[in-house]
Amino acid sequence: MMMFKEEENGTALRFSLHGHWSSRLVFVFAVTGSAVGLGNIWKFPYIAGQNGGGAFVLVYLVSVFVIGLPVMMAEILIGRRGRRNPIATMALLGEEEGSSRQWKWLGFMGVVAGSLILSYYSVIGGWTLAYVPKSIAGAFTGTSAAEVEAIYAGFTGNWLSVVIAHSVFMGITILVVARGVERGLEQAVRFMVPALLLLMLILLGYAVTSGGFAAGVEFMFTPDFAALTWDGALQAIGQAFFTLSLGMGAVMAYSAYLPKEMSIRRASTSVVIADTAIALLAGLVIFSLVFANDLDPAEGPGLVFVILPLAFGQMAGGVFFATVFFVLLGFAAFTSALGVLEPGVAWVVERFGRSRLQAASLVGGVIWALGLGTALSFNVLADFSFLRGTIYQNVDYLTSNVMLPVAGLLITFFAGWVMCRNSTSEELGGAGTSYKAWRLLARYVAPAAIVLVFLEAVGIIG
Ligand code: TRP
């Protein structure tokens, strides 16, 4: 349970998580709720499929543990030490650690990155919501692969339905954040993540008997490095940040009220393991079904929205499972979206003295408008292509492959080089072996890996 004791000197703090997390488990659930979302079930399988499977999955897993885990520990320790919203925390710690208040710009970059991410996240969240009534109506029952493809293409090709779905998703997100009722949602997360896990296990059972399981396992776990480009490796790193909600201060914000005595290492390890398990399960289910039905793993953003309805349409109780699946996925998307919107709203409330409703409408409205670019990328603007492709592809590339890794680099630099050893070891529970391992990763390994892959991918070194 959480206690909501306002801190007297916390006038600058209107973040919704006032009070202290009373148990590590509640904190872990909240961060897991932010981490588990479309990134695990929609994005991971589709970009793994586009990058040839095995080698991508391996680089992703290494990135999660070698880069993601130390960055998460850094975000948590910074957040807990600063005890403010991410922008104020970076300014405060920058000064306290003898550097500069200008570190606040790292917090700003997080708000910008988060807004861009949410702009397309909301569009895909909308697709998820739109698939709920389709599931209930039995639209997938007994359909062929060509028919589910046609349902997907028909839906996403209709700009009006996509815009409406995006508006509904964003509208609900704005309302929930405006009312500051995320607290209640922490209870729901307790149920949602295990339920999603259970459903994925049921689907795994179905996938095992589908005839494509061996091929799915092989695709995911046999690394073929010839299939992976440096750009693919950068996408794997970007996905590690994305799926763990790192690089935009979301985890930092959640950590502001983490009590001193809780172990940061244990909390972050639990989140990373839960998040990775759900992504791998989703990948196994989806690729088994792809190969069982002779479909293309590199289908793209429609992968989950085609493969799973096809399977639901064939299995016993499919209408029920399809409905539950899209409700749970929509819910998971939601608990992630709230965490992305919150820092920007908190900042507008604190900085400009607006009400939560005004701030949420303003920030959310801008994000909604930005999201139109992604919504239209799948229909009227599908042929409008520049730099990396459609508007959606550019926003995705800029955020996951540029902004989040760059922010991660700066966060590890701050925690590893700017903060003094005493401050970080105090937060991480002493200067033992695990602290030394963290410091090695944060100071050298993670930054070097990010810089190397980034420079290779953009072709500066080759
Ligand atoms: N991690 C979420 C997912 O996998 C998305 C997300 C939530 C996120 N908060 C974030 C991504 C902060 C980057 C930064 O679906």
pLDDT tens string 134-189? 999 999 999 999 999 999 999 999 999 999 999 999 999 999 888 875 566 666 77
Is there an atom of ligand 1 within 6 Å of 435 CB? no
Atom of ligand 1 nearest to the CA of 333: 15
Q: What distance in Å separates the CA atoms of residue 211 and residue 77, rounded to the nearest whole number? A: 46
Phi and psi of 21, rounded to 5°? -70, 125
Q: Tokens 């409008």 map to which residue?
A: 384
pLDDT digits (tens, 9 = 90+) for 183-221: 666 667 778 888 999 999 999 999 999 999 999 999 999
Q: By the 8 A CB rule, do 53 and 220 touch? A: yes
Out of 10-14, 22-26, 43-47, 193-197, least confident range = 10-14
Q: What distance in Å separates the CA atoms of residue 203 and residue 424, rounded to the nearest whole number? A: 42
Q: By the 8 A CB rule, do 267 and 24 touch? A: yes
Q: What distance in Å separates the CA atoms of residue 45 and residue 39, rounded to the nearest whole number? A: 9
More confident residue, 28 or 375: 375
DSSP letter, residue 247: S
Q: How confident is the prediction for the chain on average, in pLDDT?
A: 92
Distance 147 CA to ligand 1 centre (A): 32
Enclosing H/E stretch for 338: helix 318-352
Which residue has the least CA distance to atom 6 on ligand 1?
A: 245
Distance 382 CA to ligand 1 centre (A): 25
Q: What distance in Å separates the CA atoms of residue 266 and residue 268, rounded to the nearest whole number? A: 6
Q: What distance in Å separates the CA atoms of residue 154 and residue 172, rounded to the nearest whole number? A: 25
Indicate if the pLDDT at residue 5 is higher than 80: no
In the beta sheet, which residues pair with residue 3?
20
Is there an atom of ligand 1 within 6 Å of 115 CB? no
- With a pLDDT cut of 90, the percent of the chain lying above it is 82
Q: What distance in Å separates the CA atoms of residue 162 and residue 391, rounded to the nearest whole number? A: 15
Binned at pLDDT 50, 70 and 90, residue 22 comes out as: low
Task: Look up residue 268 and give its amino acid.
Answer: S
Indicate if the pLDDT at residue 24 is higher than 80: no
What does the angle CA 289 – CA 64 – CA 442 come to, to the nearest 5 degrees?
175
Task: Please tell me the predicted confidence (pLDDT) of residue 190.
Answer: 78
- Burial code (b: 16+ CB inside 10 Å, e: under 16) for 356-391 equals bbebbbbbbeebbebbbbbbbbbbebeeeeeeeebb
Task: Please tell me the predicted confidence (pLDDT) of residue 382.
Answer: 97
Question: What is the secondary structure of 266-311 as a DSSP string?
Answer: HHHHHHHHHHHHHHHHHHHHHHHHHHHTT--TT--TTHHHHHHHHH
Which residues, in sequence order, are CB contacts of 196 under 8 Å at separation 6+? 36, 278, 328, 329, 332
Pair of tokens at residue 71: 């960055």
Sequence-ordered alpha helix ranges (H) in 158-212: 159-179, 182-208
pLDDT digits (tens, 9 = 90+) for 282-331: 999 999 999 999 999 999 999 999 999 999 999 999 999 999 999 999 99
Distance 283 CA to ligand 1 centre (A): 18
**SS3 label, residue 453:** helix
Task: Please tell me the predicted confidence (pLDDT) of residue 19.
Answer: 62
Task: Please tell me the predicted confidence (pLDDT) of residue 216.
Answer: 98
pLDDT, mean of residues 255-259? 87
Distances (CA, A) of 131 to 76, 80, 156, 258: 36, 39, 11, 37
Atom of ligand 1 nearest to the CA of 34: 7
Which residues, in sequence order, are CB contacts of 24 under 8 Å at separation 6+? 262, 263, 266, 267
Indicate if the pLDDT at residue 279 is higher than 50: yes
User: Sign of the C-alpha dihedral, residues 450, 453, 459, 462?
Assistant: positive
Which residue has the least CA distance to atom 14 on ligand 1?
A: 245
Q: How many residues does the chain have?
A: 462
Distance 210 CA to ligand 1 centre (A): 31
Q: What distance in Å separates the CA atoms of residue 174 and residue 358, rounded to the nearest whole number? A: 10
Is there an atom of ligand 1 within 6 Å of 35 CB? yes
Phi and psi of 386, rounded to 5°? -150, 165
Indicate if the pLDDT at residue 438 is higher than 90: yes
Q: What distance in Å separates the CA atoms of residue 237 and residue 239, rounded to the nearest whole number? A: 5
Which residues, in sequence order, are CB contacts of 35 under 8 Å at separation 6+? 243, 244, 245, 271, 274, 275, 336
Distances (CA, A) of 443 to 37, 89, 130: 29, 21, 45
Is there an atom of ligand 1 within 6 Å of 79 CB? no
pLDDT digits (tens, 9 = 90+) for 331-358: 999 999 988 998 888 888 888 999 999 9
Which residue has the least CA distance to atom 8 on ligand 1?
A: 245
For ligand 1, pick from 117, 396, 403 the residue to mutate: most ligand atoms within 8 Å of CB: 117
More confident residue, 226 or 193: 226
pLDDT digits (tens, 9 = 90+) for 119-129: 999 999 999 99
Is there an atom of ligand 1 within 6 Å of 340 CB? yes
Task: Please tell me the predicted confidence (pLDDT) of residue 462.
Answer: 67
Q: By the 8 A CB rule, do 303 and 286 touch? A: yes
pLDDT, mean of residues 360-386? 98
Indicate if the pLDDT at residue 47 is higher than 80: yes
Which residues, in sequence order, are CB contacts of 48 under 8 Å at separation 6+? 56, 57, 60, 220, 283, 297
